[in-house]
């Protein structure tokens, strides 16, 4: 994440000419940058210490930290504790109980009888078996052109424009929810801007510049900064209250 550095004079003499108020503001800005850098370093330390046992990272990520001299123990097929495919005994399960919603229903009709080759069906004896499947749609990312219509009010003559959806921000090429996903991929998925470009090209069939991706990250960072600062102050208050 890029930080906005304070405007520091290049020459020492220019620095000595600054007023006390300007020096205090400069120190305050530097302190803000230092705090953000410390948070960034602590976050990176936490990521380095994560593995498949302490986070949702796949076991394959453990190979990065595993010593090349340490032999990898092979699991015995005859081990009674070996994890079997499918639902696990005693585990409540999630996916097999459905996803909690259905976005689209699609009926699959029989085309031809495998016994006699007929394709005419009785109206009686119809049964249905349902399968819920999470799948990629043909166009995971769609390009929508919103044509904002402006009309004159018959009563007062006021020119009124149609309201854009909440996730559409005038002047920004990406919707708010897509920007949020890209930031998630960058920070939690650890995808570089180049990898994000590949992801958008592969799944969305769209080309997005590096500048747009960088601006998206900065925009989201600025948007969440007040909430993060408020949360920090709340934590400090709770901590001081508990000490008393």
| Length of the chain, in residues | 244
Count the Cβ atoms, other than its own, within 10 Å of residue 52.
12
Per-residue DSSP letter, 71: P
Q: How many whole angstroms separate alpha carbon 206 and alpha carbon 209?
A: 10
The predicted pLDDT at position 80 comes to 47
pLDDT of residue 18: 77
Could you tell me if 138 and 104 are in contact, meaning their C-beta atoms sit under 8 angstroms apart? no
Residue 196: what pLDDT?
93
Q: List the chain domain ranges.
A: 11-46, 169-244
Interacting residues of 47 by C-beta distance below 8 A, sequence separation 6+: 190
| Burial zone of 126 (CB within 10 Å; 0-12 exposed, 13-18 middle, 19+ buried) | exposed
CB 2 within 8 A of CB 36: no
- HEC string of 163-178 equals CCCCCCCCCCCCCHHH
The reply to whether the predicted model has a pTM over 0.85 is no
Q: In a structure prediction context, what are the per-residue pLDDT tens digits for the chain, which is 244 residues long? A: 555 666 777 777 777 777 888 878 878 887 888 888 888 888 787 777 766 666 666 665 555 455 545 455 555 444 445 566 555 565 555 555 677 888 888 888 999 989 999 899 898 888 998 888 887 777 888 899 999 999 998 988 899 999 999 889 888 899 988 998 999 999 888 999 999 999 999 888 899 999 999 998 988 888 888 888 888 888 878 766 655 5
pLDDT of residue 188: 86
């Amino acid at each position: 994440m890029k930080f906005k550095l304070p405007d520091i004079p290049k020459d020492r003499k220019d620095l000595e000419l600054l007023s006390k108020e300007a020096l205090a503001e400069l120190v305050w800005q530097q302190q803000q940058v230092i705090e953000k850098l410390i948070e960034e370093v602590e976050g990176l330390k936490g990521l380095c210490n994560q593995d498949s046992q302490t986070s949702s990272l796949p076991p394959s990520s453990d190979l990065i930290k595993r010593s090349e001299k340490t032999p990898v123990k092979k699991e015995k097929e005859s081990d009674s504790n070996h994890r079997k495919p499918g639902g696990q005994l005693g585990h409540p399960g999630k996916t097999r109980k459905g996803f909690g919603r259905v976005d689209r229903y699609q009926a699959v009709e029989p085309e031809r009888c495998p016994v006699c080759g007929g394709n005419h069906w009785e109206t009686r004896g119809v049964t249905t078996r349902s399968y819920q499947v999470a799948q990629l749609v043909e166009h995971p990312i769609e390009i929508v052109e919103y044509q904002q219509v402006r009309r004159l009010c018959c009563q007062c003559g006021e020119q009124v424009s149609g309201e854009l959806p909440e996730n559409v921000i005038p002047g920004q090429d990406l919707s708010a929810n897509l920007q949020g996903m890209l930031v998630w991929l960058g920070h939690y998925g650890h995808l570089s801007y180049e990898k994000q470009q590949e992801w958008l090209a592969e799944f969305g069939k769209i080309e997005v510049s590096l500048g747009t991706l960088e601006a998206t990250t900065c925009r989201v960072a600025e948007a969440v900064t007040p909430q993060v600062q408020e949360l920090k102050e709340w934590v400090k208050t709770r901590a001081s209250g508990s000490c008393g």
